[in-house]
Structure 1
Amino acid sequence: MTKHETLILAENFQEEFIHHRRHLHQHPEIGFELPNTVAYVEKTLLSMGLTPQKVGQAGLVVTIGNGNGKTILLRGDMDALPMEENTDLPFKSTNGFAHTCGHDIHTTFMLGAAKLLKEKEKEIHGTVKIMFQPAEEIGLGAKDMIENGLLENPKVDAALALHVTPDLEVGKFGYKPGIAASSLDGFFLKVQGKGGHSSEPQNAIDPLMIVNAIYNQMNTLVSKEIDPKERAVLVIGKMGGGTVANIIPDTAHLEATLRSFKPEVRDHLFNRVQEIIDATVKMMRGTYELKTISTPSLYNNETLCKQVVPFVKEILGEDNLQIDAEPLAGTEDFSYISQQVPTMFMWAGSNGLGDNNYPLHNPNIMLDEGVIPLGVAVVVHSAISWLNQA
């Protein structure tokens, strides 16, 4: 197969792109608190002759093209995770945060795409809008940017995103038409009881008994109320309260996460969790505070996927783009965008480092930088080709 000219162009700038990636990797930040990352991205875009605009709490957007016709959005997330890195990389992070999910590479994809799209701007019949997103790891960044006008001025007609994965070798990409990643609901419960001495339990209301009863009831939901052919996971990962053995505590807490694929399954479980909490607490004479967070399931538009697949194969080769049989069990807040416009979310293989085959979010993970020019070329060629045929 003859190498595509967009991939050749990306490889010509590979050293520059790797410099961006290593700087970002060495200086990770989390959530919406990304002042240095945003400043670096903004400075880099300005050096290309582009004019980035701030969107929401910590997002940036830049547009490239002639302003006529349709608009396609490219997404790159910038935030890291609150964990230590455990590698011997010379550019490893030492500030207590780490890019163990590969968002440093995602940001680099978008910086590289901006570079190439600016070089090829005369070829673009429409507009490419590139978003640099905060707070993906806490499921809030895309929503914040949408609420602050991300999909308007110009109005977005379709969107693409890449996510690195060590499950595929460099040179191979994957995607899943339809539901591509699970929804996520988080439940954060504080139960108020009535503290007292362990010798006088009749004068107390034990919040630990209440959360224990809730725990037991919640753990029957998936097995007893969901069709076994469907997939859902409800996990209570944090629960407790109290200080010493001879005091009935005043409060107790429980925290849980729910993941599912189909909206109707999610809605049933989400409502039932709240019903169980409310009924159990009231039955046992307590009161409670409940906070929830929700991220919808990610949906890959089948029509858009069919349109984009040939362009991806022109970069990767006919046999290097695979259709995944199963959706991602984890959650991706690109899903907020998929609720508004047709989207295609792809996995970019980044495992080429021999025995280092740790999963994402592992402190030992080392992703192969060979994926960078491929990812840049895929999004650039796909965006321009889709606009030019639209």
Structure 2
Amino acid sequence: MNKTINMANTLSSAVEIKDELIKHRRHLHENPELGFDLPNTVAYVKETLKGMGLEPKKVGKAGLVVTIGKGNGKTLLLRGDMDALPIKENTDLPFKSTNEFMHACGHDIHTTFMLGTAKLLKERENEINGTVKIMFQPAEEIGAGAKDMVANGLMENPKVDAALALHVDPGLEVGKFGYKPGIAASSLDGFFLKVQGKGGHSSEPQKAIDPLMIINAIYSQLNTLVGKEIDPSERAVLVVGKMGGGTAANIIPDSAHLDATLRTLNPEVRDHLFKRIPEIIDATVKMMRGTYQLETLSTPSLYNNAELCEQMSPYIKEVIGENNLEVNNEPLSGTEDFSYISNLVPTMFMWAGANGLEDRNYPLHNPNVVLDEGVIPWGVAVAVHTAINWINN
């Protein structure tokens, strides 16, 4: 077994470049972009990596990958997601967003984590007896970016053996980290339904097929599904977040729509509901003489490999201290598309504390959220130290 790389050197190196990293973070925060449409973000990240002597390669629609190390050993994948949210920022930051979008989930900091990690790893490349592969990912917020990169060869050349990702948490103090072994975040299934009826005059309903009646019946049936068919001890949330149709009170519309999301932790529960929802839609629409189009979008549950977490935890504690790594009992009720990676290789997904600002403790996805930039050197040091030592040992 190789000797553990000195923790103090890693953390001090991250602190030394903190000002440089904060400039990256503020540029990204001020210029957010959405989904796969990240031309300026990708260009900025690409040029920054080239300035470090790295050769970023495009993977998929808008992803970038760099590899660092001597090869001939294990390959560890690290992730920094780059996309923002369609939220208008409501903070007083001097570097607040200049457009209608906002980095309300901390992806600007995640990207900065990986820019700092890439810089320090490149400087220590001769210490890495294997390969660190860093992915800069688009479209996490729509659950599609990791899947796209995997489909376009992310996990090969070199073949990935394990993966590590950090996500900021405004509920944790700066310097503290947390993780949940096993299922760490729920799956997400989206159902996007368009019902075709037959429009007509409200005075002659017998000549029409009312699509609003159809989606209302579907809505009612879906809202009984979890309570009547799922064990109450299981966690399952089915929500119809959008539905409607029509243009005037005296017109029976020609079509209507309904959009729903399903979140579960147990794969068996998910499989059952994923089967039953289309069955209910199909039977109800046909019974009421309509037709329909149904599209689905699915993201699996995020899974933390307990053995990998046990291997990496000592290195993380060497950076942050023995008592600053928390093991959580409850999984995240939201969804994280790093799950596409965790379904392929052993994975550790961690929360990094970003709450050090009084009276600014808003949750993620809130237009008022302000994250403490003090988390940046901690995240970089944890990623660098853990990557080098896990690969070498």
TM-score range, shorter chain: over 0.9
Q: Shift of the alpha carbon at 1:3?
A: 6.7
Q: Deviations over 1:39-74 (max 9, x none)?
A: 110101001011111100000000000011110000
Establish whether residue 300 from structure 1 lines up as the match of residue 301 from structure 2. Answer: no
- Answer yes or no: is the 8 Å Cα contact 1:232–1:260 preserved in 2: yes
Structure 2 residues without counterparts, runs of 5 or longer = 1-5
How many angstroms apart in 2 are the aligned matches of 1:330 and 1:107? Answer: 21
Specify which of 96, 101, 126 is matched with residue 92 of structure 1: 96
**Matched AA of 1:277:** I
1:269-308 correspondence to structure 2 within 5 Å: 269-308=273-312
Match of 1:235 among 231, 239, 257: 239
Cα distance in 2 for partners of 1:38, 1:196 equals: 50
Q: Deviations over 1:196-254 (max 9, x none)?
A: 11111111111111000000000011111110110010000111111111111110110
Aligned partner of residue 256 in structure 1, secondary structure = strand
Instruction: Provide TM-score, normalisation by structure 1.
Output: 0.99
Q: Which residue of 2 aligns with 1:199?
A: 203
* Aligned partner (choices 347, 364, 382) of residue 343 of structure 1: 347
For residue 209 of structure 1, the aligned residue among 209, 213, 226 is 213
Q: Distance in 2 between matches of 1:40 and 1:165?
A: 25
Question: Is contact 1:84–1:94 with CA below 8 Å preserved after alignment?
Answer: no
Aligned to 1:32: 36
Which string of whole-angstrom CA distances, capped at 9 and with x for unpartnered residues, describes residues 65-98 of structure 1? 0011110000000000111111111000021110
Cα distance in 1 for partners of 2:193, 2:109 equals 36
1:225 is the counterpart of 2:226: no
Alpha-carbon distance in structure 1 between the residues aligned to 2:218 and 2:181? 37
Per the alignment, residue 12 of structure 1 pairs with 16
Aligned match of 2:379: 375
Q: 2:53 aligns to what? A: 49
Aligned length: 388
- Alignment match of 1:362 (pick from 350, 354, 366): 366
Q: Which residue of 1 aligns with 2:389?
A: 385
Other structure's SS at 1:345 match: strand
Write the deviation string for residues 82-122 of structure 1: whole angstroms up to 9, x where unpaired.
11111111000021110000000000000000001011111
Distance 2:225 2:56 in 1: 47
Which residue number corresponds to residue 107 of structure 2?
Answer: 103
CA–CA distance in structure 1, aligned partners of residues 315 and 45 of structure 2: 27
Scaled by the length of structure 2, the TM-score of the pair is: 0.98
1:66 equivalent in alignment to 2:56: no
The letter of the residue matching 2:314 is P
Cα distance in structure 2, aligned partners of 1:94 and 1:277: 42
Q: CA deviation at 1:4?
A: 2.2
Match of 1:176 in 2: 180
Structure 1's unaligned 5+ residue stretches are none
2: CA distance, partners of 1:83 / 1:362:
8
CA RMSD of aligned residues (A): 0.9
Q: Does 1:259 align with 2:259?
A: no
- SS of corresponding position for 2:134: strand
After superposing on structure 2, the runs of 4+ consecutive aligned residues of structure 1 that deviate more than 2 Å are: none
